[in-house]
Structure 1
Amino acid sequence: MDRRKFIRNTAATSSLLTLGGLSLNSCDSPRNKHITILHTNDVHSHVDAFPNDHADFPGLGGLARRAGLVHSIRQENPNTLLFDAGDIFQGTPYFNFYGGELEFKLMSMLNYDATTIGNHDFDNGIDGLLAQMPYAKFNFLSANYDFSNTVLDGLTKPYKIYEKDGIKVGVYGLGIQLDGLVTKQLYKETVFINPFEVAIDMETKLKEVEKCDLVICLSHLGYEYNLEQKPDDLKLAKKTKHTDLIIGGHTHTFLDKPTVVTNGAGRDILVNQVGCFGVNLGRIDFYFNNETTVADGYTIKV
């Protein structure tokens, strides 16, 4: 895959960007460090690889292969985080038979750090999702679903901070409007909150209060819609000021490399999504030193 590099100058007196530069948040402490972000989305219970004669994804995917890739990358760089952007459930007989237990157990074996919640993760109802949570050894991040009056109250977090080699990475989650996608009896009293407003609150807290070096959003809003009033990742990127990377899902959008979007503060940030069914693994590498931050993003076929 071709790689595009984005560089910025972090000197306090200037924000000079080279061509194709990515302006990240300012980092105060001296360092020469490397953080790798791996991600999936919309895997939809696809545990096995596709057959070699499959029309769309011949010989691609498979959780065992993904595990091998993730292990290899962690060997290369121990400072690696692994995320998912939702819709873990629904799509193969594994979900029909096990109800999500297998998916969560296998993701836990891969040591996923966190996921957000997609609309299809409610397909067995909010009680069905609750029943499988004990098998998940990773965080469920959801900032704009209010589960206060449901059985999931207290079982999700709006954000989580991870620290790798002294770099603080703040991650928050956003979900799509469930009304119209999911039957009310499945999500029950879950309340959807405007994701744009929540994102501003989350990123501000993570950057200004928690002093995170990187701010990442796990989004299941969808990459892009023609409807102006419908939230999506590209609209979100334009409104945010402190978020550096949006890892998306829902629309099954295949990107070879992240999209660069100018945010509300005039900085370039990254939006990425790697299709569906586990046929791709997204990788974003952030390199830090005293003066510059470099982000190198691309998609790996599984």
Structure 2
Amino acid sequence: EAQNVLLVDAGDIFVRGPYHKVFYGELEMAVFNALNYDVWELGNNEFKGHPDQSVADEKMYNLIKQAKFPTLCANIKNNDDSYLPGVKPYIIKSVNGITVGIIGVSSMKVKGYPQASNKIVEDPLLTVKTLLPKVKEESNIQLLLSHAGLAADVQMDMKLAGSGLSLIIGADDHYVIKQPIYRSGGIPIVQAGGEDNIYLGRIDLKYENKNGTWVLVSHSGRLYPIDDKVPMDPEIRRIVDQYLSKVQKPAA
């Protein structure tokens, strides 16, 4: 339906799902690859896929390696302050000649997980505030892929409005936000459910170049429900069936 599309996910892709302890997200990531996602952000649940720290890390890094698109997380690092293996703090995407910088941050909840005792968890707001000038130097438009939670996203809107950041794609709370949260002069915030409330969120952004700077002049958002009324693409059905055949006995 539209040109200039970015397809993103803000994390929590498998924990508490029906095949959590069978595939640890491999099925979901195989589908993401087939759908040609552009980028995803690590959710807090990706860090606690298994009770044992070494196994949880192994499962998470397997997903990162499986992904055929970048994994983001700027505010959770190794104890030596380096970024996690295979993870970037931000990416720059070219969309029809316009460069789009996407920063990724995750939840402070991870700080309390035993599985993350070998990691540093930094404040998402301070992380974005520190990175944004660098990302602005490299891109025309700046977006945030946030698994920090709605309260943190609202705080970032209040503190970073006017900084150039033009959209916060949120997650973590799994709220169904039917229309972007927006205050005049602020940053639109969107969130499309998750877990038991599955939607494909869409937000259309219109920019104008004003004195050499790309400025968001209008936006509109909606949610597409994902249910049995939506026919599954044959290739996606093949991928899902291939995985499920490993755990389901064939009918007699």
TM-score (norm 2): 0.77
What residue is the counterpart of 1:281 in the other structure? Answer: 200
1:243 aligns with 2:174: no
Q: 2:6 aligns with which of 75, 81, 86?
A: 81
User: Measured at CA, do residues 174 and 161 of structure 1 come closer, stay the same or move farther in structure 2, by a change above 3 Å?
Assistant: same
Q: How far apart, CA to CA, are the structure 1 residues paired with 2:18 and 2:223?
A: 27
Residue 32 of structure 2 aligns with an amino acid whose one-letter code is M
User: Measured at CA, do residues 150 and 235 of structure 1 come closer, stay the same or move farther in structure 2, by a change above 3 Å?
Assistant: closer
What residue is the counterpart of 2:16 in the other structure? Answer: 91
**1:128-277 equivalent positions in 2, closer than 5 A:** 128-147=59-78, 149=80, 153-177=84-108, 178-180=110-112, 182=113, 184=114, 186-207=115-136, 209-210=137-138, 212-224=139-151, 232-240=152-160, 241-261=163-183, 267-277=185-195
Q: How far apart, CA to CA, are the structure 1 residues paired with 2:83 and 2:122?
A: 16
Residue 198 of structure 2 aligns with an amino acid whose one-letter code is V
1:138 Cα deviation from its structure 2 partner:
1.5
| Runs of 5+ unmatched residues, structure 1 | 1-75, 225-231
Which is helix-richer, 1 or 2? 2
Residue 24 of structure 2 aligns with an amino acid whose one-letter code is G
Residue 43 of structure 2 aligns with an amino acid whose one-letter code is G
User: What is the root-mean-square deviation of aligned Cα atoms in Å?
Assistant: 2.1
Checking the alignment, whether the CA contact within 8 Å between 1:237 and 1:261 is kept in structure 2 is no
Residue 222 of structure 1 aligns with an amino acid whose one-letter code is G
Checking the alignment, whether the CA contact within 8 Å between 2:170 and 2:189 is kept in structure 1 is yes
Q: How far apart, CA to CA, are the structure 2 residues paired with 1:95 and 1:115?
A: 19
1:281 Cα deviation from its structure 2 partner:
1.2
Percent of aligned positions that are identical: 31
Checking the alignment, whether the CA contact within 8 Å between 1:150 and 1:189 is kept in structure 2 is no
Q: How far apart, CA to CA, are the structure 1 residues paired with 2:169 and 2:70?
A: 16
Residue 200 of structure 1 aligns with an amino acid whose one-letter code is K
Checking the alignment, whether the CA contact within 8 Å between 1:261 and 1:269 is kept in structure 2 is yes
Checking the alignment, whether the CA contact within 8 Å between 2:39 and 2:72 is kept in structure 1 is yes
Checking the alignment, whether the CA contact within 8 Å between 2:100 and 2:141 is kept in structure 1 is yes
Q: How far apart, CA to CA, are the structure 2 residues paired with 1:257 and 1:170?
A: 23
User: Measured at CA, do residues 242 and 152 of structure 1 come closer, stay the same or move farther in structure 2, by a change above 3 Å?
Assistant: closer
What residue is the counterpart of 1:106 in the other structure? Answer: 31
TM-score (norm 1): 0.65
Checking the alignment, whether the CA contact within 8 Å between 1:130 and 1:152 is kept in structure 2 is no
Q: Which has the higher contact order (CA 8 A, sep 6+)?
A: 1
- Number of positions where the alignment pairs a residue of Structure 1 with one of Structure 2: 211
Q: How far apart, CA to CA, are the structure 2 residues paired with 1:272 and 1:130?
A: 27
Residue 147 of structure 2 aligns with an amino acid whose one-letter code is H
Consecutive aligned runs of 4 or more in structure 1 exceeding 6 Å deviation = none
1:289 Cα deviation from its structure 2 partner:
4.4
| Runs of 5+ unmatched residues, structure 2 | 51-55, 227-252
1:198 Cα deviation from its structure 2 partner:
0.9
Residues 111-154 of structure 1: CA deviation (Å, up to 9, x unaligned): 11111111111223112211232221111111111136599734
